Structure 1
Amino acid sequence: MTHPPAPPPAAPKPRRARPAAQEQEPGVFSGGLLPWLFLAPTLIVLGLFIYYPALETFRMALSQANLILNTEKFVGLRNFAELLSSPAYHQVLLQTLVFTALVVGISLLLSVWLAWLVRGHLRGSSVYRLLLIYPYALSPALAGVLWLFMFNPDIGVVNQLLGAVAGVQPRWLDNPWLAFGLVTAAAIWKGLAYNIIFYVSAMQNLPQDVLEAAQIDGANSRQTFWSIVYPLLSPVTFFLLFAGIVSALFDSFALVDMLTRGGPYTGNAGVTTFLVYQLYQDGFVNYKTGLAAAQAVLMLGLVGFITWMQFRVGEKRVHYGG
């Protein structure tokens, strides 16, 4: 008997091709530990020099320390209550706000005007820009010494010229109004160059077609500046406004220390004693570390409030793009 032919062997099932390994995107770490290793140096520096001192400042603001006896006790909000009820601190706060408003407002107006004058390819414009930017290279302490020698009542060059021309030699550092104006003028002069650098750079990148269209339409230089140029510079002005406020609040220490040391004294405090200088006197001269720490916390709150108001109100007037 014949057997039926055997069925052909079943074809082997084709193996599924393994998906090709996906290429790792550039800039994406494969593990979770490696990113923290790269961030570790930055986090250590921030922790040691920013976050830890900030936490210590908050702790010291709630305590009262005696550096001589090396004792410290918790007093809660007593330091803040003492500051907020102190007439001297009220005077210092008012003087600081007036000083900041004058320095920031006048500096922005002068810098944008001077930058507009030297923006183009005028003859000698590079020399003018160098002279305008030169004060930025000076440290605040060196600038204070320079102004101290210039306005010295006896040997200063300013009084020598005024005596020869007008026959007067004001006592710049003894009169409260003159001393306040002198420190304000020095701070404006010191910060002017920083603003000019940004304004000149921004003006060189303005859209030329918009300016040419304004000239074709018959707009004069004043109309072109206030109607076209100034709105286009609003992002730079917005940045410089905040930078100027911070600079006036904190960078005025060296100018005050070199020129007036916070005096002359009138009322409850020195007329040129601002918040940062009052903090220095309480912390390093009078050794009232709790009051000094409380002042640092209040200054932080003041800067935060000004920043919040600036973004809430000022940003609405900022125009991005041409």
Structure 2
Amino acid sequence: MLRHAAFTNIWLAAALVVPQLLLVFIFFYWPTGEALYWAFTLEQPFGGSNQWVGWLNFATVFKDPKYWNSVQVSIIFAAATTAIIISVSLSLALLVDRRLPGHQIYSFAYFIPYAMAAPAAGLAFRFIFSPNAGFVAAINNWFPNIWNPATDGFDAMVLVVLCQAWKSIGYNFVFFLAALQSIPRPLTEASAMDGAGAMRRMWDIQVPLVMPTLFFLLIINLTDSFVDSFGIIDITTHGGPARATDLMVYKIYFDGFKAQDYSLAAAESIVLMLLVIVLTFIQFRFVERRVHYA
């Protein structure tokens, strides 16, 4: 009969668990509860008593065409950044996994951008892709007005998508590389001996075996694109031009801290949270069916 270890010191267990529970409560459940309360009441900009208004804030949100524009922009931003991040990071991981000369240096260099704060990355891209200085300015001299994120909405979206993707590739690269290195070497070596080329081995062996990691990163990147893009947007475009990069998370900030409509911003944050939950459910419900776990 197997004997299971038992932990009898309840006070020590509580001392280790309670601080973490307090952090979760203070920084997640409490703000979420406050947002729910504000979403159904009318919060005064400078404090005071709240007035219960029911679903009025949500009705105002759904009737606002500017909000639906931010939803559309956010979906485009999330889809574009996720596609670039997944494809580029997987490609880099496949190349490094072949252990070419200098692969350790490449591994370190690819991860560095992830260590940079989002506002710093946004500021760097704002200067690098400035239409009035540097390499891009030279291109504009040859082809006038071919690039100007300050006035062209498409250029602005390309700028923030590239910045978000560049910053997140390193994180995904580490996971893909770890997944590729966990594949038994005899499996790929046997396929090579049978005459399978590098591309054949990639599509038939390596990519199918890293599908669980790819599914995990798909969820992480989509969620991150919706909720962790504020710093880049605020530094690079401020949601412009003409709301071309006015993502949902930035509109929440603008309505709450600029327009001081806290109740409307709270309702928008609840809608964003529900949207992320629905997208995650859809991925687990339909996309995970195509994932095979070894």
Query: What is the TM-score when the length of structure 1 is the normalising length?
Result: 0.85
Q: Which moved more, 1:311-320 or 1:273-282?
A: 311-320
Cα 1:163–1:53 shift into 2, 3 Å:
closer
> Residue 96 of structure 1 aligns to a residue in which SS?
helix
Which whole-Å CA distance do the structure 1 matches of 2:203 and 2:4 have between them?
A: 48
- For this pair of structures, how many residues does the alignment match? 291
Deviation string for 1:252-284 (max 9, x for gaps)?
11111000000001xxxx110001000000111
User: Following superposition of structure 1 onto structure 2, how do residues 1-322 of structure 1 map, counting pairs within 5 Å?
Assistant: 26-29=5-8, 35-68=13-46, 70-155=48-133, 157-163=134-140, 166=142, 168=144, 170-265=147-242, 270-321=243-294
Which whole-Å CA distance do the structure 1 matches of 2:73 and 2:140 have between them?
A: 31
Q: State the 1:226 CA deviation.
A: 1.0
- Tell me, which stretches of 5 or more residues in structure 1 are unaligned? 1-23
Cα 1:35–1:125 shift into 2, 3 Å:
closer
Which whole-Å CA distance do the structure 2 matches of 1:217 and 1:96 have between them?
A: 46
Matched-pair contact (CA < 8 Å) for 1:79–1:291: yes
Which whole-Å CA distance do the structure 1 matches of 2:49 and 2:244 have between them?
A: 34
Q: Which moved more, 1:64-73 or 1:90-99?
A: 64-73
Matched-pair contact (CA < 8 Å) for 1:118–1:125: yes
- Tell me, which stretches of 5 or more residues in structure 2 are unaligned? none
| 2:240 alignment partner AA | G
Q: State the 1:34 CA deviation.
A: 6.0
> Residue 42 of structure 2 aligns to a residue in which SS?
strand
Query: What is the TM-score when the length of structure 2 is the normalising length?
Result: 0.93
| 1:271 alignment partner AA | A
| 1:131 alignment partner AA | A
Matched-pair contact (CA < 8 Å) for 2:36–2:266: yes
Deviation string for 1:156-199 (max 9, x for gaps)?
x23244257x4546323221111111111111111111111111
Deviation string for 1:30-77 (max 9, x for gaps)?
66x664454322222222222121111111110112223634211001
Deviation string for 1:61-105 (max 9, x for gaps)?
101122236342110011111111211111110110111011101
Which whole-Å CA distance do the structure 2 matches of 1:117 and 1:37 have between them?
A: 46
Which whole-Å CA distance do the structure 2 matches of 1:38 and 1:140 have between them?
A: 32
| 1:79 alignment partner AA | N
Matched-pair contact (CA < 8 Å) for 1:206–1:232: yes
Which whole-Å CA distance do the structure 2 matches of 1:106 and 1:218 have between them?
A: 31
Q: State the 1:217 CA deviation.
A: 2.4
Which whole-Å CA distance do the structure 2 matches of 1:299 and 1:81 have between them?
A: 15
CA-based RMSD: 1.9
Which whole-Å CA distance do the structure 1 matches of 2:24 and 2:47 have between them?
A: 32
Deviation string for 1:108-134 (max 9, x for gaps)?
011111111122221122222222222
RCO higher in structure (CA 8 A, sep ≥6): 2
Matched-pair contact (CA < 8 Å) for 1:159–1:168: no
Cα 1:256–1:127 shift into 2, 3 Å:
same
Cα 1:91–1:217 shift into 2, 3 Å:
same
Matched-pair contact (CA < 8 Å) for 2:255–2:264: yes
Which whole-Å CA distance do the structure 2 matches of 1:59 and 1:230 have between them?
A: 46
Q: Percent identity?
A: 31
